[in-house]
Amino acid sequence: MAGVVVCHASASVRERIVVTSLGVPLLAPVRAAASADELVVLARRLAPTVVLLDADLPTPGPGEAMRRLAQVAPHAAVVVLAGPDDTESLERALALGARGFLTPEVNRAELAAVAAHVHAVASMAPATPPPPPREEPRPRETKENEKTQPVLTRRELEVLVGMSNGRSNAQIGQDLYLSEDTVKTHARRLFRKLGASDRAQAVAIGMRRGLIQ
């Protein structure tokens, strides 16, 4: 691993995550940035493997920060720091190429899981850099059938697939290198999107709508 940069507007959040990250060898060295400009400067010098990015970063914002980051550190995996209910920010970041999300209260075990996952993916990835993040989706009129079709994030879909295979939340977390609490958060969100009350109903709806097979 080439290190991690924590980019968050809150000094207390940055300090807490930096201290927590120090116990995860795969994340060393750990640096902190308070803005997109500071992130780019650090990324150019450090070439980080992981960037923990504030979903509410002040202007120019997280989207612009990700676009600039792609120019100087194209292999960096961006993980958004946001609350589980901040659906709009999370989905926008995922559309721009973020690998997933953690809450600002992330613990050492979750950071270790992210480090292990990114390290495993990097070891299997081709040498060529990934494509730059896509532009932020522009509002557009939706067709009537699109209004009723739930849009699951990649991570929510992975959790749903795990459920369809009979995996427990703990087992899904191990498969995806996530904490069990993070899996539960994804599960609650996909239940809400699908209008499901439990795992069985969510899987049934997912199969009926062609989200899983």
Whether 56 and 84 share a structural domain: yes
Whether 64 and 97 share a structural domain: yes
pLDDT at 197: 87
CATH number of the domain residue 24 falls in: 3.40.50.2300
pLDDT at 140: 47
Q: Are 162 and 172 in contact (CB under 8 A)?
A: yes
Domain boundary among 92, 124, 156: 124
Residue 119's pLDDT band (cuts 50, 70, 90): low
Across 7-21, 69-83, 133-147, 162-176, which has the greatest mean pLDDT? 7-21
Domain that holds residue 110: 4-124
Kindly tell me if the per-residue pLDDT of 28 is higher than 90.
no
In-domain check, residue 138: no
Long-range contacts of 208-213 (CB under 8 A, 24+ apart): 209/149, 209/150, 211/150, 211/152, 211/157, 211/160, 212/157, 212/160, 212/161, 212/164
In-domain check, residue 38: yes
Whether 110 and 153 share a structural domain: no
In-domain check, residue 152: yes
Whether 66 and 120 share a structural domain: yes
Kindly tell me if the per-residue pLDDT of 87 is higher than 80.
no
Kindly tell me if the per-residue pLDDT of 145 is higher than 60.
no
Q: Are 101 and 51 in contact (CB under 8 A)?
A: no
pLDDT at 147: 44
Whether 116 and 191 share a structural domain: no
Kindly tell me if the per-residue pLDDT of 39 is higher than 60.
yes
CA distance linking residue 21 with residue 6, whole number of Å: 10
Kindly tell me if the per-residue pLDDT of 149 is higher than 70.
no
pLDDT at 172: 92
Taking each helix axis from N to C end, the angle separating 61-72 and 36-46, rounded to the nearest 10 degrees, works out to 20
Mean pLDDT over each residue of the chain, to the nearest integer:
80
When divided into structural domains, the chain yields a total of 2
Domain boundary among 96, 124, 152: 124
In-domain check, residue 76: yes
Determine how many CB atoms are found less than 10 A away from the CB of residue 123. Answer: 7
Kindly tell me if the per-residue pLDDT of 135 is higher than 60.
no
% of the chain beyond a pLDDT of 70: 83
Residue 47's pLDDT band (cuts 50, 70, 90): confident
- Give one DSSP letter per residue of 111-168, joined into a string: HHHHHHHHHHHHHHS-SSPPPPPPPPPPP-PPPHHHHHS----HHHHHHHHHHHTT--
pLDDT at 110: 81
Whether the full predicted model's pTM is greater than 0.85, yes or no, is no
Whether 117 and 37 share a structural domain: yes
